[in-house]
């Protein structure tokens, strides 16, 4: 089950709030092992700094898994993405992300992205982890 709300806060600012939940009783085979999540963010478009096609965004996320999912892992179960087989120090996975997307050419955009991940894969013994990424988007 999921909920998504988006709101424009003027001509060049958009915000979002997303909430998701499932019971954690079904094996995960796609995307990520998340049984409950909440995220919020804001995106600011570059009109105010004369880069109309550019934008910057920041988001915060908090993901969790159900008690049944935790018990499954602690009993030796293996998660598709989490791996482990034990999860002795469960903690919510908290993420802060910031990115900048810039238009390089008429059909080419580049994005620089940073994520701070606290308690990666729900394990308080891990991390935090700093993730840096770049992306190129070409429209044909």
Domain carrying residue 88: 2-138
pLDDT in the model for residue 35: 92
Q: For residue range 6-50, list pLDDT tens digits in order.
A: 999 999 999 999 999 988 777 666 667 899 999 999 999 999 899
Q: For residue range 86-126, list pLDDT tens digits in order.
A: 888 899 999 999 999 999 999 999 999 999 999 999 999 88
78 Cβ contact partners less than 8 Å away, ≥ 6 residues apart: 84, 85
pLDDT in the model for residue 91: 94
Average pLDDT over residues 67-76: 87
101 beta partners: 55, 111
Average pLDDT over residues 68-76: 86
Residue 36: CA count within 13 A, CB half-sphere? 10
Q: DSSP string covering 17-55, please?
A: EEEEE--S-S---SS---SEEEEEEEEEEEGGGTEEEEE
pTM of the model: 0.87
């Amino acid at each position: 089950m999921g909920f998504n709300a988006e709101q424009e806060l003027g001509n060049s600012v958009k915000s979002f709030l997303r909430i998701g939940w499932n019971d954690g009783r079904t094996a995960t085979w796609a995307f990520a092992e998340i049984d409950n999540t909440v995220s919020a963010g804001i995106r600011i478009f570059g009109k105010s700094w004369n880069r109309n096609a550019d934008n910057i965004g920041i988001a915060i996320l908090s993901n969790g898994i159900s008690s049944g999912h935790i018990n499954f892992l602690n009993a030796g179960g293996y998660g598709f993405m989490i791996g482990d087989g034990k999860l002795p120090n469960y903690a919510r996975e908290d993420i802060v992300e910031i990115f900048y997307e810039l238009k390089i050419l008429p059909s080419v955009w580049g994005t620089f992205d940073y994520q701070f991940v606290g308690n990666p894969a729900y394990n308080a013994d891990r991390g935090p982890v700093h993730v840096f990424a770049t992306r190129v988007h070409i429209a044909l």
